[in-house]
Every structure is written in C-alpha cells, then in structure tokens.
Amino acid sequence: MNGNPFDPRERQRRFADPDLTRRILDRTSGRACGRSEVLLGARWDGELDRLDAELLAGHLAHCAACRELATILERLQPMLPSLAEREPGPSFTARVLDQTSRRRPRAARRTSRLVARLEDLAIRLQAGLRQAWGRPRFALEAAWTAAALVSLLVWSPLAPEAASRRADAIVQAGAGVVPEANARLGRAAAAAAATGREYLEPAVAWARTGLAAFEVRFSALADALRDRLDRDEASDTTTNP
C-alpha cells in the first residue's frame, strides 16, 4: 500500500527524502558540510545561537559524515585536557635544580654580572688595541699623536730653550712617517680590491683625507718651527756677538 497521495502528511514524508535534498544541493549551492563544520567547531565553546543550532541539527539528521564528526568532537572535548600534563620522570626536577642552583641569588648575581661586564670590557679593549696595531692608518694616527706632543713641547711656556732644536729633529724624523703611511695605505687599497672594495675603500679614502689634512698641518708646523729657530738664532747673535 502506498497510502493516500493526496494526504499532506504522506506527501511530506515522501518528499522529505535526504537523497533528494542532496541531489538538489549538488545542483545548486553545493553541500552544506563546510558550513556545518564551522558550526560544529563553534558549538564546542557553546557559542551557537538557537537558530544555528537548529540548522545544524537539521543537517546532522541526514549527513552521516558530519554526524560522525559531531560524535567524535563530543568525545574529544573532555579527553583533550588529559594531555595537558606529561610527567617527565623523577630525575627531571633534580636536573633543573642542579642547572639553576649553580647561579647565586639575585644580589650575588648582580655582582657577578658586573664583574663579567668588566672582564668583557677588558677583553674588548685588548682586542681593539691589537686590531689598531694591525691597521694601515695606525702610522697616521701615531704621527698625529707625535705632532700633538711636539706642539705641546714647543709652545709650552715651560719648554726649555733647546727644546725647539730637539723639536726640529723630531719633526724631521716625523716627516719620514708620511711617505711610509702613504705606502701602507696603497698596499691596503690593493688588498681592498682583492678582499672586498665596498668595505675597505671608504676607509682608505677617509684615511687619505686625514693624511692630506695632516700634511697641511705638518708643513705649517714645520714652517712655524723654522721661523722660531731663525728668530732664536738671530737673537743669539744679537746678545753674543
């Protein structure tokens, strides 16, 4: 018996076929499983409103795959917090304490940190000096220092009478430094071409500029010294004819 085809309930039962729904969805919007999964994820946090819950229930009623997912999700929810802890074994605490207790309490740690910083500074200073010694412009810097010392020696009011002569000798010796520094810079430039121009060339250019400035100042200093020596000699001849 097929029942009365004109009975509204019978018609509803016959046409409430899930396969028919699926076939229609396949030809229109596609399956609603994607949306259902979003709602299943949200349902976990209890954030589903009444309407969405109703729609989801309607989908689950005829979609076996989503129903299976829903079942698994329901079972997973209380199980997951059991993974929150994983006992590492009895020796773990001891190992951690061993690694951390070697450090002293905070005040002591601060002192040792200061000592460590000072040591670090000393090491850096030492390394810096060693590096400076190997630099090509070290000769130039030494020449600058020498020039500064000579200036102090010559123009100081406490400078002895014969100092100007000694200064002249120092200046003469210092004059040899300039070509030497130039030669070393030339060698550095050649090395730069081989090892990486982008780093060394600006440094060499900077050093050359410094050297040029030094030469200008050095010649001015030499001229001043010569003038002073001439004046000294002139005064000597005037006082001791």
Partner 1 sequence: MDDRILHERCCRGDELAWEQLVSRYQARVCSVAYTYTGSEEEALDVAQEVFVRVWRRLDTCREPERLGAWLLQIARNACLDHLRRRKARPPAQDLPADELFTLADPGRRPDAGIDQEDQRHVLERAMQRLSPISREAILLKDIQELTLEDMATMLDLPIGTVKSRCSRARVELAKVVAGLIAPGPDAKAAR
Binding site for partner 1 (CB under 8 A): 37-38, 40-42, 44-45, 68-69, 71-73, 75-77, 79-89, 92-93, 95-97, 99-101, 103-106
Q: How far is the CB of 38 from partner 1 (least distance, A)?
A: 6
Q: How many CB atoms lie within 10 A of CB 206?
A: 11
Q: Are 211 and 182 in contact (CB under 8 A)?
A: yes
What token pair was written down for 80? Answer: 């997951």
Taking the least distance from each CB to partner 1, the nearer of 73 and 159 is 73
Q: Which residue has the tokens 């014969």?
A: 162
Q: How far is the CB of 133 from partner 1 (least distance, A)?
A: 38
Q: How far is the CB of 49 from partner 1 (least distance, A)?
A: 15
Taking Cα atoms as reference points, which of 171, 186, 185, 161 lies closest to residue 217? Answer: 171
Q: How far is the CB of 134 from partner 1 (least distance, A)?
A: 35
Backbone φ, ψ for residue 88 (5° rounding): -85, -5
Q: How many CB atoms lie within 10 A of CB 25?
A: 13
Taking the least distance from each CB to partner 1, the nearer of 81 and 157 is 81
